[in-house]
């Protein structure tokens, strides 16, 4: 198989995967909105009405509730950012751009999103929850899954840096060889 045929096949597959990854991104964001905000809000409004039938709910309580929900959704939103980066890369790949600097950027963005999600899950969410609930302090919640996610993210960032160097070197070699022709 020659280079152009391989490139075309990769572009065709990338276009199909792009549509799938974009759909998954939309489903994930809608799922986060419904499960982390809308459904709990409906339940919470009912509870607020029962506790305070004559008056309204204190704005501080509503702000705290919304802040907690946003904080708890943050790790999933970081993972959604990884899916967004992947669909963006697949869009470029579908246009025929193979193995360029975008490949290294994709690995770095996905790795950063995984690392951010792990950090938020392990430190940001537990500590932020304590502060929003007026308990103060610092909290760390570690699990095998969170550590694995963080290590995988860090490895992808390192791989992106290595790949970036390889791609830059190969681009320079190609430019030199094109200069001889």
Domain residue ranges of the chain, discontinuous segments joined by +:
3-180
User: Higher-confidence residue: 122 or 88?
Assistant: 122
Can you give the pTM of this predicted structure? 0.80
Calpha distance 161→72 (Å, rounded) = 31
pLDDT in tens, 65-97: 999 999 999 999 999 999 999 898 888 888 877
Using the structure block, give the residue that is written with the tokens 């597959």: 13
> Taking residues 98-111, what's their average pLDDT?
83
DSSP 33-45: HIIIIIHHHHHHH
Per-residue pLDDT band at 22 (split at 50, 70, 90): very high
Torsion over CA: 117, 118, 122, 124 (sign): negative
Calpha distance 109→1 (Å, rounded) = 32
Residue 33 is predicted with a pLDDT of 94
The answer on pLDDT for 125 being more than 90 is yes
Residues 6+ apart with CB under 8 A from 80: 25, 28, 29, 32
């Amino acid at each position: 198989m020659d280079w152009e045929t391989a490139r075309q096949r990769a572009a065709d597959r990338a276009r199909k995967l792009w549509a799938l990854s974009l759909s998954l991104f939309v489903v994930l964001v809608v799922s986060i909105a419904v499960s982390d905000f809308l459904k709990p809000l409906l339940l919470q409004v009912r509870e607020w009405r029962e506790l305070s039938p004559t008056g309204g709910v204190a704005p501080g309580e509503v702000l705290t509730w919304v802040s907690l929900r946003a904080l708890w959704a943050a790790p999933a939103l970081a993972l959604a950012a990884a899916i967004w980066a992947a669909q963006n890369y697949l869009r470029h790949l579908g246009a025929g751009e193979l193995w360029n600097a975008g490949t290294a950027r994709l690995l770095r963005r996905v790795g950063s999103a995984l690392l951010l999600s792990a950090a938020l899950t392990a430190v940001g969410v537990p500590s932020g929850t304590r502060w929003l609930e007026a308990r103060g302090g610092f909290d760390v919640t570690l699990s095998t899954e969170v550590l694995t996610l963080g290590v995988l993210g860090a490895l992808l960032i390192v791989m992106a840096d290595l790949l970036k160097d390889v791609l830059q070197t190969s681009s320079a070699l190609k430019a030199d060889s094109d200069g001889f022709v």
